[in-house]
Amino acid sequence: MEHTARAVNGRQVERPAVEPAVVKPEREPMIDARPWLVADGVARPSLSRCPLCLGEVLPVLGIPEFVRHRSALHDARCVLTTRTYQPDELVVRKAYDVAVGFAHRMRFVRRWEFHYAAVQQLCPSFTMKRFATVLAYADVLNLWSYPNLREEDLASVLLVLTGFMRLADSAVKGAPESVGWVRFWFDASVRDVGDLWGARTSAPGLFRIEYREPGSTPFPTGADVLGGMRVDTLQMPWTERVAGPAPELHAADRAAFGRFVARSHRN
């Protein structure tokens, strides 16, 4: 260690030189590959692409169950590793079409019980309050104006548009880490909701990602990811589903939806 001399009361006193602080680099973002090796029901020995951003991933040296993105750009933008709590959102880019929008929305309202039941099948904690809120958001975004909109996809779309959902009373006594938030995401092949209804070679993935309570941000980031899973789409074909009787719902939910429709018609 180097020393420097300094005069103290007329005497030369040696003291150790102050060494510059060493700034440790941030831990490389990593992805636990284990949940994704059977994400679509097919067992794989290893993961070559990220299920969310679809970017190439590589094994982490010395930690075989983890992988990392090859590209720093994917690290920054991927839901599983991003350090921002405002990652790329699902975009709705459609000018309002009076005829198309009216027809799609009216068909949705006529069958709203089926849509609400489909959303709850994918996310049992989804409430009527959230349902009405995301529908109002969809109205503002002109979701209904997409001419090729498919009803069977609306449950997934509404879940993704809802964004981060905090779970009430999420702490579980004795659990090392409890899930505080959940969010649904499409994979990166769906940037605009219209990508669902264009020419595709395969169906997009829909994922449920679970997060711990964030320590320093309003909403979770990739650093708060606890786990995730690919969500199976609704098993019964939509035409068969809506051909049957309407799902049984609480009277309070029916009343709340009626009030939402009345408000939206006045606006």
Distance CA 61, CA 69 (A): 13
What one-character DSSP code corresponds to residue 98? H
Is residue 50 assigned to a domain?
yes
Domains contained in the chain, number = 1
List Cβ neighbours of 33 (8 Å cut-off, separation of 6 or more): 46, 47, 57, 65, 66, 67
Expressed as residue numbers, the domain containing 70 is: 25-82
Domain assignment present for 98: no
Predicted pLDDT of residue 37: 79
Output the pLDDT for position 104.
Answer: 97
Cα dihedral sign, 210-138-158-49? negative
Q: What is the mean pLDDT of residues 80-87?
A: 90
pLDDT at 189 over 90: yes
Q: What is the pLDDT of residues 146-183, one digit of tens each?
A: 999 999 999 999 999 999 999 875 444 444 568 899 99
Place of tokens 């997009």: 204
Task: Report whether pLDDT(45) > 80.
Answer: no
Mean pLDDT, rounded, for 129-141: 96
Q: Of the given ranges (38-42, 103-107, 142-146, 164-168), which has the lowest mean pLDDT?
A: 38-42
Q: Is residue 77 situated within a structural domain?
A: yes
Residue 135 lies in a domain: no
Q: How far is CA 242 from CA 77, 114, 134, 254, in A?
A: 38, 7, 22, 18
Q: How confident is the model at residue 24 (pLDDT cuts 50, 70, 90)?
A: very low
